[in-house]
């Protein structure tokens, strides 16, 4: 064998490593910075939505007392529409009440008065 076809130790190591990695996919991810302050905890968990309990009144109840996670964190007052039994009611919730609901505090509100009755809606 001639000397011009022999590999140096370094060339052999590089060629061997490339041969081993030929079918391997390597993915590197990160969020920048290298302050080594510990593991990245990831994004903060988003709150779940909340569903209120609608009391029975005038012999029936309604559905629709659902607050989405986005509504809980948006910082705006909302109005929910309760549906069923051939008519609707609304329940207005302020931003403060949404914050309380999101924190796990019990909040109860009366619905609008439709067809001569209301329903009490309770969250948490």
Report the distance separating Cα 111 and Cα 86, nearest Å: 16
88-96 CB contacts, 8 Å cutoff, 24+ apart: 88/62, 88/114, 89/62, 89/114, 89/118, 89/119, 91/52, 91/65, 91/121, 93/67
Residues 49-83 have pLDDT tens digits of: 999 999 999 999 999 999 999 998 888 999 999 99
Q: Which is higher by pLDDT, 14 or 107?
A: 107
Q: Is the pLDDT of residue 46 over 70?
A: no
Reported confidence tier of residue 34, pLDDT bands at 50, 70, 90: low
Domain edges within the chain: 50-123
Q: State yes or no: pLDDT of 85 exceeds 80.
A: yes
């Amino acid at each position: 064998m001639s000397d011009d076809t022999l590999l140096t130790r370094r060339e052999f190591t590089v060629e061997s490593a490339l041969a081993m990695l030929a079918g391997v996919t390597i993915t590197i991810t990160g969020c920048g910075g290298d302050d080594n302050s510990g593991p990245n905890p990831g994004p903060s968990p988003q709150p779940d939505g909340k569903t209120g309990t609608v009391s029975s009144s005038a012999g029936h109840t309604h559905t629709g007392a659902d607050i989405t996670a986005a509504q809980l964190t948006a910082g705006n007052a909302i109005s929910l529409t309760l549906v069923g039994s051939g008519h609707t009611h609304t329940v207005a919730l302020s931003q403060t009440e949404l914050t309380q609901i999101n924190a796990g505090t019990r909040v109860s509100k009366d619905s609008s008065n439709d067809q001569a009755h209301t329903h009490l809606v309770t969250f948490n």
